[in-house]
Amino acid sequence: MNKIILGRYIPGKSFLHRLDPRSKLVLSFLFILIIFFANNWRTYILLGIFTFFCILLSKISLGFFLKGVRPLIWLILFTVVLQIFFTRGGPTYWQFGPLSITHFGLVNGGYVFCRFVLIIFMSTLLTLTTSPLEIADALENLMLPLKKFKVPVYEISLMISIALRFVPTLMDETEKIMNAQRARGVNFGEGGLIKQLKAIVPLLIPLFVGAFNRAEDLATAMEARGYRGGEGRTKYRFHAWHKNDTLSCIIFGLLAAILLFLRSW
């Protein structure tokens, strides 16, 4: 259970930790967007250096980011291999039926790989330096304009924060139930596919029962403390826009400008 690094928060006091979650959220989103504008090796090197710089800034060891890639490595390799085999153009190095390895294919495969790694690094960086509650707060704040269109912003953000809040709890619960069933002779992750699927039933049913019970208790507890919807509720945490946030936006703007320039170079 402890191998999952995506979505994990590591407390700290670095520049990135102290940025406003709203600016972090928007900037990471925009960064992922401009990754798709990169179209040659110069642009990828630029983005790579920028990502590396951000990682240094966060003062979190590189190992965490590499671990973040690990669960997705098969997906990445699969996509890369598809790109390599099915992209046509340029000199052909190898051909077999519809499959061929061409110059363009290899280059595209490389780009796709870089894209994946950059996206994962950046989103890992966001979750490593921003606590789940901050992310939920930021989302609520950013979605506020949608209220005009009758989007239930408070309810959505409450749902997100409750969901995020209960991830570790459910993980603990999963661990406990797995232990209890292991003690009764279940071997998780062993045997054939059917056997593994069957082993999941004794895990999922208690987990669901527990989650429903917990949801009911939580609802009761919230009502007992006078919760009547999010309208007009005040907040404990206030987010204020600081100089550093403006600075980050300017740096990002420069990055995007350089990227667009290198793109057509």
Partner 1 sequence: MSIRFEKVNYIYQQATPFEHQALYDITLTIPTGSYTAIVGHTGSGKSTLLQHLNGLLKPVSGRIIIGDQEITSLTKNKELGTLRKHVGVVFQFPEAQLFEETVLKDIAFAPKNFGSSEQEALETARQMAKLVDLPEYVFNKSPFELSGGQMRRVAIAGVLAMKPEVLVLDEPTAGLDPKGRIEIMDMFQNLKIQQHLTIILVTHQMDDVARYADNVIVLEKGHLLANNFPEKIFSDSKWLQEHHLALPQATRFAKELQKRADSFNFSKVPLTEEELAIQLIQRINEVKQNDE
Of 130 and 248, which has the nearer Cβ to partner 1? 130
| Spatial separation of the C-alpha atoms in residues 13 and 122, rounded to whole Å | 18
Q: Is 13 an interacting residue with respect to partner 1 (CB under 8 A)? A: no
Calculated CA dihedral for residues 227, 231, 237, 239, nearest 10 degrees? 170
Helix (H) or strand (E) holding 99: strand 99-102
Of 114 and 126, nearer to partner 1 (C-beta) is 126
Q: Which is nearer to partner 1, 59 or 103 (CB)?
A: 59
Q: Which of 56, 81, 180, 197 binds partner 1 (CB under 8 A)?
A: 180
Least Å distance, CB 6 to partner 1, is 15
**Is 193 an interacting residue with respect to partner 1 (CB under 8 A)?**
no
DSSP at 145: G
In angstroms and rounded to an integer, the radius of gyration of the C-alpha atoms of the chain is 23
Told to check if 211 binds partner 1 by CB under 8 A, we report no
Q: What angle do CA 44, 50, 54 make, to 5 degrees?
A: 140
- Between 97 and 185, CB nearer to partner 1: 185
DSSP for residue 264: T
**Applying CB under 8 A, does 186 fall inside the site for partner 1?**
yes
The only residue of 45, 56, 209, 215 in contact with partner 1, by rule CB under 8 A: 209
**Residue of the chain from 36, 183, 234, 236 that contacts partner 1 (CB under 8 A):** 183
- Of the candidates 70, 182, 233, 242, which one interacts with partner 1 according to CB under 8 A? 182
Going by the DSSP 8-state scheme, the letter that residue 144 receives in this structure is G
222 Rama sector, left if φ>0, alpha if ψ -120 to 50, beta otherwise: alpha
Kind of pairing, strands 99-102 and 92-96? antiparallel
Provide the 3-class DSSP secondary structure of residue 147. helix
- Coil/strand/helix, residue 256: helix
101 vs 177 by CB, closer to partner 1: 177
Candidate ranges 96-104, 110-118, 154-162, 169-177; the one touching partner 1 (CB under 8 A): 169-177
Which residues bind to partner 1, rule: CB under 8 A? 2, 10, 173, 176-177, 179-187, 190, 201-202, 205-206, 209-210
